[in-house]
Amino acid sequence: MGVSHVNPDLTNGQAFGVEVICTFVLILTVFGVTDSRRADVKGPVALAIGFAAIGTHLFGIPYTGASMNPARSFGPALVMGGDAWTQHWIYWVGPLFGSILATLLYTLVFREKKILLVREEAPENNCVDEAELKMMS
């Protein structure tokens, strides 16, 4: 009991995709609502993360058990043994891959934009970035 298992109607590739998608959505939500650079995030952060966890679990449970956490799958598989290990790689590689994809998307697409301004007093080095501008003011 408690062992994550793949729905028999799914291939290993499909189960892997479900774990990737579930983890991707959860991690992207966490990045989005905890980013201190975002002034548009209002309301309780924990509620947004909780809804993302609930939504991904409701989607993933019928297919893979929606583990999204290798430790959550490892303990029950260790206790139960036997067939619990046959598709266990899905519960390690899927969340890892989903996390990496979410991290890449958030850092590359939603990264902080550099603002360059012209400085009049130093013509040889006439650009300043946003961090230096904050220090000057």
Domains of the chain: which residue ranges? 12-112
> Is pLDDT above 90 for 112?
no
Q: Which residue has the higher pLDDT, 27 or 117?
A: 27
Q: Give the number of other Cβ atoms within 10 Å of residue 106's Cβ.
A: 16
Q: What percent of the chain has pLDDT over 70?
A: 80
pLDDT for 39-97, tens place per residue? 777 888 999 999 999 999 999 999 998 888 888 888 888 888 877 788 889 999 999 99
DSSP assignment of the chain, as one string?
-------TTS-HHHHHHHHHHHHHHHHHHHHHHH-TT-SS--S-HHHHHHHHHHHHHHHHHHHH-----HHHHHHHHHHH-GGGGTTTTHHHHHHHHHHHHHHHHHHHHSPPPP--EE-SS-GGG-EE-HHHHHHH-
CATH class of segment(s) 12-112? mainly alpha
Task: Report pLDDT for 122.
Answer: 55
**pTM of the entire predicted model:** 0.77
